[in-house]
Amino acid sequence: MNKQTKVWLVLSLALSLLALGSACGGAKDSGTNAPATGGSDAAAAPYSGATGTIAGVVSFEGTAPAPKKIDTTADAACGKANPNLTTDDTIVTDGKLANVFVYIKEGTVDAGKKIGEYAWSTPSNTVQLDQRGCHYNPHVLGVQTNQKISITNSDQTQHNIHWIPKTNPEWNQSQPNGAPAIEKTFTRAEVLIPVKCNQHPWMKAYIGVMRTPFFDVTETNGAYEIKGVPPGKYTVVAWREGGTNGSEKTMEVTVPANGSGKADFAFGGGAATSSTKPSLTMMPAPEIPSLHK
Ligand SMILES: [Cu+2]
């Protein structure tokens, strides 16, 4: 290693430390770097006024990969419950893509405030996440921060729910057949949190946690609808699983009062998806001692 290289190494290490320090400081109180999360809960007022919708259809271009059969010999109960268990990462029906998480990432309400600057109350209904036929059902789901998620096991075997968030706490728990439902919440917005099962490696789900109610998941017909949106201009993101962090498409949408903004998206194999950027870009972990300890 020559002298110049050494100098550069020292310089870049110093810069990394600085960046890390400011990143830690900045993120401390906001609780999130996730979409539509700006604003302070304490001071925020709820939105009141006319609303519209954002709706559209998500297509899959080109030939969809055929679902692959899953080998369930490791757990006879899974094969018995679901003899034709197949992968559920790409569900395409007549060219339309299911399980795409569509949400308002950011934007400005016509009244002038950012959408994240309003208070959005936590829904009182509980979102269900069932384990049935050794799949998670639904495969992709959305909740608001602090909204209850009820996790159930409808199978004659044991599951172990294990989610791997980046900003919320990691968690895993076994749930034998017949065990009561497990109730959980997320306190921080995070799109999207991968969920796996420690018993069955093919089981995957994704949970989008939002501070706002502005999200939906496409049905098998590819359709979604985001209701109750204040009139304004928004960045709408469609997220789909795949690869390390999934991929996303972005569109600017104008929502009129009492009207609907349309946002259709298309994903596809090969070139169509290579232009999308990962939505959950990980910073490379610097090999330096933690500043927090
Ligand atoms: Cu399982």
3-state secondary structure labels for all residues of 49-96: CCCEEEEEEEEEECCCCCCCECCCCCCHHHHHHCCCCECCCCCEECCE
Q: What is the CA radius of gyration of the chain?
A: 21
Residue 70 CA to ligand 1 centre (angstroms): 13
Q: Which of 57, 59, 58, 60 is nearest to 269 (CA)?
A: 60
pLDDT tens sequence across 237-275: 999 998 888 999 999 999 999 999 999 999 986 543 333
Residue 118 CA to ligand 1 centre (angstroms): 39
Residue 76 CA to ligand 1 centre (angstroms): 12
| Assigned token pair, 82 | 């679901």
Residue 158 CA to ligand 1 centre (angstroms): 6
pLDDT tens sequence across 16-57: 544 444 444 333 333 333 445 444 455 689 999 999 999 999
* Residue 125: predicted pLDDT: 97
DSSP, collapsed to helix, strand or coil, labels residue 241 as: coil
pTM, whole model, 2 decimals? 0.78
Residue 34 CA to ligand 1 centre (angstroms): 28
How many residues make up the chain in this entry?
A: 293
Residue 156 CA to ligand 1 centre (angstroms): 11
Residue 143 CA to ligand 1 centre (angstroms): 22
Residue 189 CA to ligand 1 centre (angstroms): 26
Residue 190 CA to ligand 1 centre (angstroms): 23
